[in-house]
Amino acid sequence: MELVDRYAPVTDDPEAFRAACARPLPTTVRVNGLKTTPAAATDALAAAGVAATPTAWSPSVLRLDTDTAGGTLPYYLGWIHGQEEVSCLPAHVLDPRPGETVIDLAAAPGGKATQLADLMDDTGTVIANDVNLGRLSALRHNSERLGVTNLVVTHQDGRHLSLKPLGPERPVDRVLVDAPCSCEGTLRKSPHIVADWDPKGHRGLQPVQTALLGRAVELTRPGGVVVYATCTFAPEENEAVVDAVLASHPCSLEPVALPAGLEAAPGLQRYGTMRFDASLRETVRIYPHQNDTGGFYLARLRVDG
Amino acid sequence: MTQNDGGRFDRVAPDASAQTDPDRPHRAAICAWWADRFGIAPETWAGYSFWEKGNGKLWVFAGEATDPTPVEALGMRFMRVRQEHWKPSTNAVQRFGDRATRNVIRLSDAETRRFIAGESVDRPGWEGDWGYLIAATAVAGREVPLGVGLYLRGELRSTVPRGRQRRL
């Protein structure tokens, strides 16, 4: 079975899903509010010969008519950061507030962590952790280019993250788990995802994803929020992971409130022989044909008091 | 003798009386340097803590941390000290340099392209200070700091790090 064949029947419009998966992905950038405004970034891109159009749901996420914006003055200045449209969603769903303490448990190369800093107006603390040292250097480079000063970079296995090195315990308000995954939803920009697809590829990932999400819940203060996100379609890496952590940790699901202008499908109740808790329908799946983006999955959990 | 450990973050002392390492400048001196060199008000740094990790590399962090922390990064590298002429970083100047009121050199579009590519810019007519200057240019109708140039004998040498250079 091919990747697209596995998921087309799950969607509301299998033919549209297949057609979208075969098209190249639009190029998008996020405007960095710590250094500029969407209007100034759009002007600077135009001066560099790049046409930018805001997405339906955010003036800060721009679609470009080129995939070479990395060579422009606004990129050099840290006014924009290349970030896929759906990859801009987890930070919005986590909804951090200025002054809070927020963790990004698998943060490299830093698009979402720097976006969290932007949404917090560079106040409070963003702890950006990753287990991969090579990818951490990309995170540091991106964070400095974007002018972020409230970011602490840690190099630990997120499944066992300890905040001890940061001094006396501080309550953690929110945690983002943008989990390592099979990346099936990136098939429009990475054709090898289809060519090299392994139908059993999720088996090695699921235990890591479950442990990361469980640790995120443990790290968060009662009443705090955890967002789980992947860029894959596989229910084994999405609903099954959230379902397992709901059963083992003191937390519950909240509806994912997507910005107006975005279409999404509810999380699955069943897939094959798997059955999930009824509340999993509060999570969302985003398919490529719905908003002309990559594929994505999002869940928002509230840690019980 | 220096007591700096390049592998860990150490807090910058608030003033001379609290210094434990005589070669690590204290906070008051750092704030005074930015004010003296670029006219950036000391109040700019209220709410930020200063740290050293690596020989002479100072970091600026929004907020507080408690102990010397074995983390990979704490905010942003913002200047280089422990040398005769202190040097601000490209990223710090891009973030805070729009507050500067002196030692800012304005570049044309053509000069901007050279500067960002890491090349020197001829400026025989510059009548301001020599040494490290903030290079700026007009973008989207406002003056925007690009980075740091070293002005010597009619020439502005770009100090944009190799990994940040771009050919526009």
Is the CB of residue B57 less than 8 Å away from at least one CB of chain A? no
Each residue's pLDDT tens digit, A24-74 = 999 999 999 999 999 999 999 999 999 999 999 999 999 999 988 889 999
Average pLDDT, chain A: 96
Query: Out of A76, A140, A149, whose CB is closest to B48?
Result: A149
Q: pLDDT class for A251, splitting at 50, 70, 90? A: very high
- ∠ CA B60-B63-B67, nearest 5°, is 85
Residue B30 falls in which region: left (phi positive, over 0), alpha (psi -120 to 50) or beta: alpha
What per-residue confidence (pLDDT) applies to B4?
Answer: 72
SS3 per residue for chain B: CCCCCCCCCEECCCCHHHCCCCCCCCHHHHHHHHHHHHCCCHHHHCCEEEEECCCCEEEEEECCCCCCCCCCEECEEEEECCCCCCEECHHHHHHHHHHCCCCEEECCHHHHHHHHCCCCEECCCCCCCCEEEEEEEEECCEEEEEEEEEEECCEEEECCCHHHCCCC
Tokens standing for A96?
A: 């951090």
Q: pLDDT class for A253, splitting at 50, 70, 90? A: very high
Cα distance between residue A286 and residue A92, in whole Å: 15
Q: Which residues of B touch A81 (CB under 8 A)?
A: none
Of the candidates A21, A183, A231, A251, the residue annotated as catalytic is A231
What per-residue confidence (pLDDT) applies to B64?
Answer: 75
| pTM, to two decimals | 0.96
Q: pLDDT class for B69, splitting at 50, 70, 90? A: low
Tokens standing for B121?
A: 């810019």
Cα distance between residue B26 and residue B29, in whole Å: 5
Of A99, A289, A73, A160, give the one whose Cα is nearest residue B116.
Answer: A73
Cα distance between residue A242 and residue A226, in whole Å: 11
What per-residue confidence (pLDDT) applies to A35?
Answer: 98
Please indicate whether residue A181 is annotated as part of the active site. Answer: no
Q: pLDDT class for B1, splitting at 50, 70, 90? A: very low
Residue A258 CB neighbour total at 10 angstroms:
17
Residue of A152, A153, A155 to mutate, testing the B interface (most B Cβ within 10 Å of its Cβ): A152
Each residue's pLDDT tens digit, A9-19 = 999 999 999 99
Cα distance between residue B106 and residue B136, in whole Å: 5
Each residue's pLDDT tens digit, B9-58 = 999 999 999 988 888 999 999 999 999 999 999 999 999 999 999 889 99
Cβ separation of A149 and B73 shorter than 8 Å?
Answer: no
Q: With 0-12 CB in 10 A as exposed, 13-18 as middle and 19+ as buried, what is A234? A: buried
Rg (CA), chain A: 19
Cβ separation of B95 and A43 shorter than 8 Å?
Answer: no
Q: pLDDT class for A235, splitting at 50, 70, 90? A: very high
Query: Out of A39, A74, A140, whose CB is closest to B73?
Result: A140
- ∠ CA A167-B45-A44, nearest 5°, is 110
What per-residue confidence (pLDDT) applies to A211?
Answer: 98
Rg (CA), chain B: 17
What is the rounded average pLDDT of the residues B126-137?
96
Is the Cβ–Cβ distance between A147 and B95 less than 8 Å? yes
Judge whether residue B68 has pLDDT over 80.
no
Tokens standing for B7?
A: 């592998």
What per-residue confidence (pLDDT) applies to B6?
Answer: 74
What per-residue confidence (pLDDT) applies to A286?
Answer: 98
In this structure, what are the phi and psi dihedrals at residue A136, rounded to the nearest 5 degrees?
-65, -30
In which residue are the tokens 């398919």 written? A287
CB pairs under 8 A between A and B: 103
Length of chain B as a residue count: 168
Is the CB of residue B72 less than 8 Å away from at least one CB of chain A? yes
Cβ separation of A165 and B69 shorter than 8 Å?
Answer: yes
What is the rounded average pLDDT of the residues B65-83?
86
Query: Out of A44, A143, A166, whose CB is closest to B139?
Result: A44
Residue of B45, B144, B162 to mutate, testing the A interface (most A Cβ within 10 Å of its Cβ): B144
Q: Which residues of A touch B65 (CB under 8 A)?
A: 152, 166-167
